[in-house]
Amino acid sequence: MDSIVCHDDKMHQVAKLLVENRSNEDWGEIANYRGAECPREIANEFLLCCLIDYRSKAKDAWNRGRHYFERLDAEHKSELWKKIADTSREDWTSKENFDRCKLHWMRPAHNRLWQIAINICAFFEGDARKIWQDGSLFDVLCRLYYIGAGDQISRMIVGALKDCGQISSGRSDVKADVHVCRVLSRVFDGKEISPAAAVSMARKMYPADPWYLDSPLWELGQTRCNSESPKCVGCYLQSQCKYAQEHSLRG
Ligand code: SF4
């Protein structure tokens, strides 16, 4: 477990600044169905885009997911998981299909969709909405782990579902990707921190709902606080940031 040296006051101050600078993320059409059941095909597109949103820029992942989805006919949009599950594993994971689908630049990220589709068909009748209907936030998180969505992606999905009013209550964690981990490590300690440590730190910073820190941290990591040359001058965390204090400030 990483050891993080920081004070509660600073944590809360940083959390306050992050929440103040939080902007709404674009989760697609599902956001138009706040508090109501969304159409099956919209739930499918949302889940597909979330599942491929790792190890690449989020915007690229969502563009690839949307592009794949747009090329499907209406029946396959509605029966997306059955369409994938009905393909043999060999065909789904073939290079030809990987090149045709263009869902991800990594073969394993493409390949894993087959087993996830099998699980959604076996346990949720091929209907993505059933993963998040009639369950607490924790239930939904467990269901996502169970179908094979993975630790960090599952956290992101429940947070997104909450943002979109598909899950009404409960706290969720940050998706501790490289950007989130980098910003937290620079602000507080300067040492690299693991995803598990970042999740635990975000819980301490904003116990009411750590998910609220996810998008501002990610946004900072994607823009100003990049891995090579952070642009500290003008960053709203500059006054609190250990890295900025210890390095010459760069604009
Ligand atoms: S002040 Fe600099 S190092 Fe700190 S979070 Fe902002 S950009 Fe990153």
Q: Is 243 in the pocket of ligand 1 (CB under 6 A)?
A: yes
> How many angstroms separate the alpha carbon of residue 199 from the centre of ligand 1?
19
Q: Is 183 in the pocket of ligand 1 (CB under 6 A)?
A: yes
* CATH number of the domain residue 192 falls in: 1.10.1670.10
Residue 221 alpha carbon, nearest atom of ligand 1: 8
Question: What does each C-alpha distance from 73 to 49, 82, 201, 226 come to in angstroms?
Answer: 17, 14, 44, 40
Residue 187 lies in a domain: yes
Answer yes or no: do 48 and 149 share one domain: yes
CB 180 within 8 A of CB 174: yes
Q: Is 244 in the pocket of ligand 1 (CB under 6 A)?
A: yes
Answer yes or no: do 185 and 86 share one domain: no
Q: What is the pTM of this model?
A: 0.80
- Domain hosting 65: range is 28-163
**163, 190, 217 - which closes a domain:** 163
Per-residue pLDDT of the chain (251 residues; tens, 9 = 90+): 444 455 788 999 999 999 999 987 889 999 999 989 999 999 999 999 999 998 888 889 999 999 999 999 999 999 999 999 999 999 999 999 999 999 999 999 999 999 999 999 999 999 999 999 988 889 999 999 999 999 889 999 999 999 999 998 788 899 899 999 999 999 998 788 999 999 999 999 999 999 999 999 999 999 999 998 899 999 999 999 999 998 865 44
| Tokens coding 175 | 């998706």
Residue 3 lies in a domain: no
Residue 243 alpha carbon, nearest atom of ligand 1: 3
> How many angstroms separate the alpha carbon of residue 236 from the centre of ligand 1?
8
